[in-house]
Amino acid sequence: MAIERFEDVAAWQGARALVRAVCGIVERGAFARNYGLRDQIRRATVSIMSNIAEGFERGSDSDFLRFLFMAKGSAGEVRSLLCVALDLDYIDRTTHQELTEQATRISRQLAGFIKYLDSNIVRAKGKGRPE
């Protein structure tokens, strides 16, 4: 099955679910009062899905690949910020583990997609086709 819309990308769907989960958690208790951390984790989470969408809409595999790397970086940032939230007792260990697993799953999906696109770009260059 060909992916025709960014909404069909599994990593984008996972990122959307992660946004809903994170946004629900950061609005409670002490987390809600730490404006810097709250806003940063929201921005990083939204950045995952936004970069997937923007890269997809650019129309070239090489652009998409670049944006997928940015999305993967944002997924790492989310995992790091979840550690901060855990260390500050804004979230419990179970919540930390669940959200970290979601972000890690997205990173793995992105890594697979990156590998696939990268191999297609290499094959296309070998056949003399432009990027």
**Residues 52-82: tens digit of each pLDDT:** 999 999 988 889 999 999 999 999 999 999 9
d(CA 106, CA 76): 10
Condensed to tens digits (0 to 9), the pLDDT of residues 97-106 reads 999 999 999 9
The answer to whether the beta carbons of residues 110 and 72 sit under 8 Å apart is yes
pTM, two decimal places: 0.89
CATH of domain 9-124: 1.20.1440.60
**What is the three-class DSSP state of 125?**
helix
The answer to whether the beta carbons of residues 48 and 78 sit under 8 Å apart is yes
The answer to whether the beta carbons of residues 65 and 6 sit under 8 Å apart is no
The CA angle 106-52-127, to the nearest 5 degrees, is: 105
pLDDT band at 124 (very low <50, low <70, confident <90, very high): low
Q: Left (φ > 0), alpha (ψ -120 to 50) or beta: where does 66 sit?
A: alpha
d(CA 26, CA 129): 47
d(CA 92, CA 70): 28
The answer to whether the beta carbons of residues 13 and 7 sit under 8 Å apart is yes
Tally of residues, the chain: 131
